[in-house]
């Protein structure tokens, strides 16, 4: 790999002694420490000096790469990017990066990743992997911006500081893939929300966990789930922590329903693909008792369907309900859904029993 790479508006060069103070400041940052658990903690200037004089050269000596990312105008350190775990027989390596706190929000990581990926592909690399912490949505956005596609999850792939192990979300770019950004199955909401002036939908965030637990533990909400088992507190916390990641990977778009005038939370809704490749998705929703009977669920379904048929490019929506949930049936029918059929014994119940699934469907022209 070359000693210096200038591309995408950044300069990649070898670390030098002038970088020590900035490396120490960047790598002791709490966010850097959280998502790079292999770093020493606390991270000192001695650690930075070792990295500059021994660590980075050792990576280069074993077939990898370790570059300082700098501002081409000032040569000030902005971050780091590198290649590790090379497998020459497969033409494969892993790419990783970090950005200093004073350089975040400027597209530095995306630019550095694109620049290094292009150089790696020019030097016989065929496949690059990029692994991100499941809760590091910012890093996942970098992967997408740099042309990496979601490939799956590496279970318990990384040791944590407390001795536990964390999953890693795997993103891959091949030599003949375009440089990005990657088209997403579930795009962001316009301006971060959907609203009709009465209700607003926005993405679920970690701080919504208490509300979501309260909503989805209610007996009448549990009764309409399959299987009808209340979720655990840890499961709800994880659901909220991973909401943005699940959205970015295209697994599910989870949203909070709020009153547009007051901002008070009223419930939740979500959309997920039914089967890849056929442009069909399913929706679900639930409201807290004070907000029921006001048409809020119908409004949420209409907003969700409009976004699905528009920016998300979905061709057909479905909603599955237990046959006894007549209130939900009315919501769907008011939005234009048609009853499509009863799937006998499709869903898991309690103690080995099976539940019927009454399916509704909506096409774009049917949306009311």
Q: Give the largest Cα separation in the chain, rounded.
A: 71
> What local confidence, expressed as pLDDT, does residue 58 receive?
96
Same domain? For 128 and 13 the reply is yes
Q: Where a domain ends, among 149, 174, 199?
A: 174
Whether the Cβ atoms of residue 165 and residue 156 lie closer than 8 Å to each other: yes
pLDDT digits 0-9 by tens, 65-80: 999 999 999 999 999 9
> What local confidence, expressed as pLDDT, does residue 331 receive?
96
Same domain? For 202 and 93 the reply is no
Q: What is the pLDDT along the chain (368 residues), one digit of tens a residue?
A: 889 999 999 999 999 999 999 999 999 999 999 999 999 999 999 999 999 999 999 999 999 999 999 999 999 999 999 999 999 999 999 999 999 999 999 999 999 999 999 999 999 999 999 999 999 999 999 999 999 999 999 999 999 888 899 999 999 999 999 998 999 999 999 999 999 999 999 999 999 999 999 999 999 999 988 899 999 999 999 999 999 999 999 999 999 999 999 999 999 999 999 977 899 999 999 999 999 999 999 999 999 999 999 999 999 999 999 999 999 999 999 999 999 999 999 989 998 999 999 999 999 999 88
**What 3-state DSSP class applies to 137?**
helix
Contacts within 8 Å (CB) and 24+ apart, 287-294: 287/257, 288/214, 288/215, 288/218, 289/218, 290/266, 291/257, 291/259, 291/266, 291/267, 292/327
Provide the domain count of the chain: 2
Same domain? For 81 and 40 the reply is yes
Same domain? For 253 and 316 the reply is yes
Same domain? For 135 and 249 the reply is no
Cα–Cα distance measured from residue 274 to residue 139, given in angstroms and rounded to the nearest whole number: 27
pTM for this prediction? 0.92
- β-pairing verdict for 92-99 and 127-132: parallel
> What local confidence, expressed as pLDDT, does residue 26 receive?
97
Beta strands in 122-204 (DSSP E): 127-132, 149-159, 165-174, 194-195, 199-203
Cα–Cα distance measured from residue 193 to residue 325, given in angstroms and rounded to the nearest whole number: 28
* Domain range for 66: 4-174
Same domain? For 290 and 361 the reply is yes
In a domain, 184, yes or no: no
Sequence-ordered list of residues with C-beta below 8 angstroms from that of 28, at least 6 positions apart, any chain: 42, 43, 44
Handedness of CA 311, 317, 323, 327 (dihedral sign): positive
> What local confidence, expressed as pLDDT, does residue 360 receive?
97
Phi and psi at 98, nearest 5°, equal -145, 155
Sequence-ordered list of residues with C-beta below 8 angstroms from that of 323, at least 6 positions apart, any chain: 342, 356, 358
Enclosing H/E stretch for 347: strand 338-348
CATH at residue 105: 3.40.630.30
Same domain? For 301 and 352 the reply is yes
In a domain, 37, yes or no: yes
């Amino acid at each position: 790999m070359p000693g210096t790479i200038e591309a995408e508006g950044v300069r990649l060069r070898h670390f030098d002694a002038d970088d020590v103070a900035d490396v120490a400041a960047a790598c002791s940052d709490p966010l850097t420490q959280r998502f790079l658990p292999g770093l020493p903690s606390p991270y000192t200037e001695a650690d930075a000096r070792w990295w500059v004089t021994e660590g980075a050269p050792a990576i280069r000596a074993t077939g990898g790469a370790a570059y300082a990312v700098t501002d081409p105008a000032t040569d000030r350190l902005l971050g780091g990017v590198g290649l590790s775990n090379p497998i020459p027989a497969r033409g494969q390596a892993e790419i990783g990066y970090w950005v200093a706190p004073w350089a975040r929000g400027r597209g530095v990581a995306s630019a550095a990743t694109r620049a290094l990926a292009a150089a790696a592909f020019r030097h016989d690399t065929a496949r690059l992997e990029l692994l991100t912490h499941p809760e590091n949505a910012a890093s996942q956005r970098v992967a997408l911006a740099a042309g990496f596609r979601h490939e799956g999850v590496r279970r318990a792939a990384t040791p944590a500081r407390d001795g536990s192990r964390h999953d890693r979300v795997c993103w891959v770019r091949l030599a003949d893939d375009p440089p990005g950004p990657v088209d997403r199955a579930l795009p962001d909401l316009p301006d971060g929300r959907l609203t009709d002036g009465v209700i607003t939908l926005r993405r679920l965030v970690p701080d919504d966990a208490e509300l979501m637990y309260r909503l989805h533990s209610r007996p009448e909400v549990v009764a309409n789930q399959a299987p009808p088992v209340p979720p655990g507190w840890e499961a709800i916390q994880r659901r909220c922590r991973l909401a943005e990641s699940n959205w970015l990977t295209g697994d599910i778009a989870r949203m909070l329903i709020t009153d547009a005038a007051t901002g008070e939370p009223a419930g939740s809704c979500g959309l997920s693909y039914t089967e890849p490749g056929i442009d069909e998705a399913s929706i679900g929703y639930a409201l807290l008792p004070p907000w029921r009977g006001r048409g809020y669920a119908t409004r949420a379904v209409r907003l969700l369907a409009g976004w699905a048929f528009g920016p998300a490019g979905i061709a057909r929506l479905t909603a599955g309900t237990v046959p006894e949930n007549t209130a939900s049936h009315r919501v769907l029918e008011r939005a234009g859904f048609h009853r499509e059929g009863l799937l006998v014994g499709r869903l898991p119940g309690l103690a080995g029993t099976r539940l019927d699934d009454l399916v509704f469907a909506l096409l774009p022209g049917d949306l009311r």
